[in-house]
Amino acid sequence: MKFGGTSVGDVERIRRVARIVAHERKPGRGLAVIVSAMAGETDRLVKLAREAGGDTHNRPGIAGKNFDDEYDVVVSTGEQVTTGLLSLALRQLGVPARSWQNWQIPIRSDASHSRARVDTIDSEKLGAAIDAGEVAVIPGFQAVTADDRITTLGRGGSDTSAVAVAAAIKAERCDIYTDVDGVYTTDPRITQRARRLEKIAYEEMLEMASLGAKVLLTRSVELAMAQRVPVRVLSSFVEPGDPNPGTIVCGEEEIVEKQVVSGVAYSRDEAKVSLLGVEDHPGVAADIFGRLADAEVNVDMIVQSQARHEGRQNMVFTCPDRDAPRAKQALEAAQKEIGYEDLQIHRDVAKVSVIGIGMRSQVGVAKTMFAALAGKGINIQAIATSEIKISVLIDAQYTELAVRALHTAYGLDAV
Amino acid sequence: MKFGGTSVGDVERIRRVARIVAHERKPGRGLAVIVSAMAGETDRLVKLAREAGGDTHNRPGIAGKNFDDEYDVVVSTGEQVTTGLLSLALRQLGVPARSWQNWQIPIRSDASHSRARVDTIDSEKLGAAIDAGEVAVIPGFQAVTADDRITTLGRGGSDTSAVAVAAAIKAERCDIYTDVDGVYTTDPRITQRARRLEKIAYEEMLEMASLGAKVLLTRSVELAMAQRVPVRVLSSFVEPGDPNPGTIVCGEEEIVEKQVVSGVAYSRDEAKVSLLGVEDHPGVAADIFGRLADAEVNVDMIVQSQARHEGRQNMVFTCPDRDAPRAKQALEAAQKEIGYEDLQIHRDVAKVSVIGIGMRSQVGVAKTMFAALAGKGINIQAIATSEIKISVLIDAQYTELAVRALHTAYGLDAV
């Protein structure tokens, strides 16, 4: 079981979490609980560390790394506090419980402070305690290096910790309690017809996560998929015993009735970069995208087309909106070397995607999408496809209209 | 070097501490720095733990102990945060530094959670890092058990941690930076003629600590004396380089010019308990003081005298004022068994003491004291002596008058 920052935001909420844990505890069922820092606590600690040591993040090169180890020492205390408090609250309910700090288990990671990756978890002592009926309460988002220094895992690290612990103790399931009650066919703020999915495949969840669905972050889903740990996303804002089925993220073999499309996702944080009149010679694409990679620009869709002038082409790509200034700088600095006529950046674009493992065995999925958008008069500026996803780039003002049209077109609307 | 909670109360103060540490760092001189939690932080954490688990302290028996381990998990994070922040601030100044959590060293204690005692410190890795020129920043007030659980040491634990680390790494000296600039001949609030002592013997410091002088707590002085670690008490509210000699607490063999009396201490938190007309039979004293010990009453001075009635005596003793209600209850409940006529408790008394290792080789010290008090018309209600201390019990309203008279009588006044 994993509870995030808002779920343990104050002592009253920690007490509710304790009641939920106590309710899930049954004879023969051992429990490990991974917790985040109380909401706001990590921000407070980050602020203190930055005041004391300067801004340790986004600091280039060695200097930043030289500070991140102590940054982790400061920031990791937030989760430790929650483990103690939840253990106390569980004991108040008569449930045997104890906190397990990462060094006590140990949970080992590499030494990439503030963005470490979990390597190994020694499940021996931990597993024995859980088998003996004691609830194990473990701080998420952190680990220790082979050298016994404290690391943190970076954003969303607590979910990754939960999945890693679940895999290590061979848990039946990893329940991620959060502020939503499951994964939806699309953002319920856009259409009331959005439905909670009973099950979703790892691959689908990965595509949704990479499109900005904030329910589970990419890394935790990748790990769950690699380790074949079923993950259930469910609400932490219920009283124990209330219906709370959530959504199970699992292997596609577990999903009997496969939908062609399981969900419609969108992202407004996109920018479209157009390089017009690029000299058409071998290696020019490698040159352009090599420079963008060096500038840490995350390129997504790419469209190549013939330009007005003979021997020249247009090269259009998308990237996250926050990368656009870096893309502009890198490309402008190399205008001569690359050899292009004009550079245009549009930041009022959105990416809308349909996702479904059923696509693999189904033809005509793209046709349905294009027809639905054409029916609403929405122009498609770029297309990208993967085995289980079709994405289109459109004018941002049509985002909601497009999402609703696709949700209906693929038969996802709640009845 | 040890810095308490007010010395590291915010990031600005932590930066000043970093400057002081940087200034003390010299070629060939290794430094370990023990830090407390930022002022207010421990209280905040204790409050959270009590909200989550109920009041874990002063809870009788097993129930309390069953909560104290997780209480320690929560509370110990306060010092960990300071170690990270100070390490960051030191590196900002270009000083190589790292935090050492207790489990990383390790510093081991017994398993008496929330009041543990340090057993052993493994100085191998720590000493090597210090010898290599890296400042070691260590959280005070805590340790880990043989079983790798986190403990805290109880009140004043950071001083004890500092002395223990100093002993383990065979430090030349343990500097305790605090909010006063040294140990004084008496409380400067009572007389402006109080002088900072250059040196004071461990034994004298112990007597002063037990009398409520808050500069150093008894346990840290006991440990320093046992391990022969010279301790310097000095101010943390100076800029580096400012004169800050402090007071050195050391073995008496280090003190060349021994004063007969080094200091005058006082305590107003006293109660006088008078048992009048106690039946005079063998074992009655053992019975009375056994009952008081069972009620956890800390008995200090004892005066026995003949009562009005034949075969009866009066038994007068003092105890800390907070123990007086328990003493009353225990004695009233046993009036028949003990056999006494009346019980009186006076809480408006004070204990004034003169302390000095020079007393051992000097006669007439008590006479000077009694004469000085008589000269001011102050009546002595009880007397207690040790090898290096004479204490008298007086009416509380004469406390300041008595302290000033004794300070002058023993030649302690600043010129």
* Shortest Cα distance, chain A CAs vs residue B83, angstroms: 8
Nearest one of A252, A244, A237 to A206, comparing CA atoms: A252
Low-confidence ranges of chain A (pLDDT < 70): 55-66, 212-213
pTM: 0.85
A84/B73 Cβ within 8 A: yes
C-alpha span between A266 and A258 (Å, rounded): 22
Q: Indicate if the alpha-carbon torsion angle A41, A42, A46, A47 is positive or negative.
A: negative
Q: pLDDT tens digits for B287-338?
A: 999 999 999 999 989 988 888 888 899 999 999 999 999 999 999 999 999 9
User: What pLDDT score was predicted for residue B409?
Assistant: 96
Q: How far from each other are the two terminal CA atoms of chain B, in whole angstroms?
A: 32
d(CA B82, CA A49): 10
Distance (Å, rounded) from C-alpha A172 to C-alpha A165?
12
pLDDT given at position B61: 39
For Cα atoms A123, A125, A130, give the angle at the middle one, nearest 5 degrees: 85
- Nearest-Cα distance to chain B for A342, in Å, is 45
Q: What is the mean pLDDT of chain B?
A: 92
Q: Which fold does the domain B264-409 belong to in CATH?
A: VC0802-like (3.30.2130)
CB B276 within 8 A of CB B343: yes
- How far apart are alpha carbons B82 and B139 in whole angstroms? 7
Q: What angle do CA B289, B292, B295 make, to 5 degrees?
A: 155
Strand partners, B249: B200, B231
> What strands, in cross-sheet order, belong to the sheet with A263-279?
A302-306, A312-320, A263-279, A342-355, A389-395, A382-386
Hey, what's the torsion of the CAs at A91, B69, A114, A64, to 10 degrees? 150
Q: Which residue of A has its CA nearest to B44?
A: A81
**ipTM of the shown complex:** 0.83
Sheet holding A199-201, edge to edge: A97-99, A135-139, A32-35, A2-3, A174-178, A231-235, A247-250, A199-201
Alpha carbon distance A146, B208 (integer Å): 47
**pLDDT, tens digit, 9 for 90 and up, residues B173-214:** 999 999 889 999 999 999 999 999 999 999 999 988 777 667
Token duo for residue A280: 């058409």
- For chain A, the C-alpha Rg in angstroms (whole number) is 24
User: What architecture (CATH level 2) is domain B2-252?
Assistant: 3-Layer(aba) Sandwich (3.40)
Which among B64-68, B198-202, B240-244 has the top mean pLDDT?
Answer: B198-202
Amino acid at residue number A70: E
Split at pLDDT 50, 70, 90, the class of B57 is low
Query: Shortest Cα distance from A176 to chain B (angstroms)?
Result: 22
Confidence label for B258 from pLDDT (cuts 50, 70 and 90)? confident
Q: Shortest Cα distance from A145 to chain B (angstroms)? A: 12
The C-alpha angle with vertex B360 and arms to B358 and B366, in degrees rounded to 5, equals 85
Q: Do A52 and B89 lie within an 8 Å CB cutoff? A: yes
- Look at A85 and B14 and tell me if their CB atoms are within 8 Å: no
Pairing of strands A142-144, A150-152: antiparallel
Alpha-carbon distance B340 to nearest alpha carbon in chain A (angstroms): 46
Coil, helix or strand at residue A35: strand
Alpha-carbon distances, residue B265 vs B28, B200, B209, B231, B268 (angstroms)? 40, 14, 9, 20, 10
Strand duo B97-99 + B135-139: pairing: parallel
Does an H or E element contain B68, and which? helix B61-75
Q: What is the pLDDT of residue A57?
A: 52
Amino acid at A64: G
What amino acid occupies position A228? R
Mean pLDDT (whole number) for B356-383: 92
Residue of A nearest to B16 (CA): A52
> Would you say residue B55 has pLDDT above 70?
no
pLDDT 10s digits, B354-364: 999 989 888 88
- By C-alpha distance, which of A216, A210, A218 is closest to A234? A216
A109 φ/ψ angles, rounded to the nearest 5 degrees: -130, 175
CA nearest to A17, candidates A220, A39, A9: A9
CATH code of the domain occupying A2-253: 3.40.1160.10
The 8-class DSSP code of residue A38 comes to P
Contacts (Cβ under 8 Å, ≥6 apart) of B72: A84, B113, B114, B142, B149, B150, B151, B152
Helix extents (H) in A273-398 = 284-294, 324-333, 335-338, 365-375
Q: How confident is the model at residue B60 (pLDDT cuts 50, 70, 90)?
A: very low
Question: How many residue pairs from chains A and B have C-beta atoms closer than 8 A?
Answer: 121
Burial B301-332 (b: 16+ CB within 10 A, else e): bebeeebeeeebbbbbbbbbbebbebbbebbe
| Closest by CA position to A213, among listed A247, A166, A260 | A247
CA distances from B241 to A393, B245, B316 (A): 65, 11, 53
Q: Are B392 and B369 spatial neighbours (Cβ–Cβ below 8 Å)?
A: yes
The answer to whether the bond into B325 is cis (omega within 30° of 0) is: no
Domain ranges for chain A, please list them.
2-253, 264-409
**Hey, what are B134's tokens?**
């890296």
pLDDT for position A191: 93
Distance between CA A24 and CA A97 in Å, rounded?
14
Q: What pLDDT, on a 0 to 100 scale, did the predictor assign at position A107? A: 97
Q: Which of B77, B177, B176, B158 is nearest to B118 (CA)?
A: B158
Q: pLDDT at position B88, please?
A: 96
- For chain B, list residues whose CB is within 8 angstroms of any CB belonging to chain A: 11, 14-15, 45, 48-49, 51-54, 56, 66-67, 69-74, 77, 80-81, 83-89, 91-92, 98-99, 101, 103-104, 148-150
DSSP A173-236: -EEEEESSSS-BSS-TTT-TT--B-SEEEHHHHHHHHHTT--SS-HHHHHHHHHHT--EEEEES
pLDDT given for residue A363 in this prediction: 84
Smallest Cβ–Cβ distance between B52 and the set A73, A89, A148 belongs to A89
**Which chain B residue's Cα is nearest to A78?**
B77
Q: Residues of A with CB below 8 A from B88's CB?
A: 49, 52-54, 56, 67, 70-71, 74
What's phi and psi for B124, nearest 5 deg?
-65, -65
- The first and second tokens of residue A84, run together, are 């103690």
Q: Which residue has the tokens 């700088």?
A: A329
**Maximum C-alpha span of chain A:** 80
Q: Give, as one character, the DSSP assignment of residue B113.
A: T
* DSSP secondary structure code for residue B353 in this structure: E
pLDDT band at B155 (very low <50, low <70, confident <90, very high): confident
- Give just the sign of the alpha carbon dihedral B158, B160, B161, B166: positive
Q: β-strands B174-178, B231-235: how paired?
A: parallel
